Amino acid sequence: MSETIEETVLLGSKNVIRVVVTDDAGVVIPFETNGVQEMIVYVSGLELSSITHPNDIKWDNIGGINLMLGGHAIKPKLWHDVSIKSFDPENPNDDAAAEGINLVHPNSDYARMKIVAYDSTMGYMPS
């Protein structure tokens, strides 16, 4: 079982969280080669799609996912579980089968993530 990734989001800022996702064998996932068309991030009761928030959710071909979450209504000073789902031609996001692939999930044995949000304008940071 893997450890949980813990990251800080600075609300009101454009800080980027980078997550690198690998398969069960430890090989990075080539999202672009695999034809990923959309990713959805679930955090703090929000559902953020890369289609509606293209500047905030980006991925590359070396397993990287860049998240810019500081501009969203995440409750501050609390830890939040994060889920990230990807959609490609074999796993589309349509009404019939919006399954996708869970890349990061609180119940995963391989990829778990939590974030804590702080207001970057208030001058306090995590200790």
Closest-CA residue to 9 (of 114, 123, 122, 127) = 114
* Token pair recorded at residue 17: 């969280």
pTM for this entry: 0.86
Task: Determine the Cα–Cα distance for residues 66 and 20; give it in Å rounded to an integer.
Answer: 9
Is residue 69 a part of any domain in this protein? yes
pLDDT at 60: 97
Cα three-residue angle 113-70-59, rounded to 5 degrees:
60
pLDDT at 35: 94
Is residue 60 a part of any domain in this protein? yes
Q: Which residues contact 15 (CB under 8 A, 6 or more apart)?
A: 8, 9, 68, 70
Q: What are phi and psi of 96, to 5 degrees?
A: -75, -35
pLDDT at 1: 41
pLDDT at 23: 84
Count of structural domains, the chain: 1
37 to 26, 31, 57, 60: CA distances (angstroms): 23, 9, 12, 12
Is residue 127 a part of any domain in this protein? no
Is residue 44 a part of any domain in this protein? yes
Look up the domain containing 108 and give its range: 4-119
Regions of the chain with pLDDT less than 70: 1-2, 95-98, 120-127
Q: pLDDT per residue over 65-91, tens digit each?
A: 999 999 999 988 889 999 999 998 888
Is residue 25 a part of any domain in this protein? yes
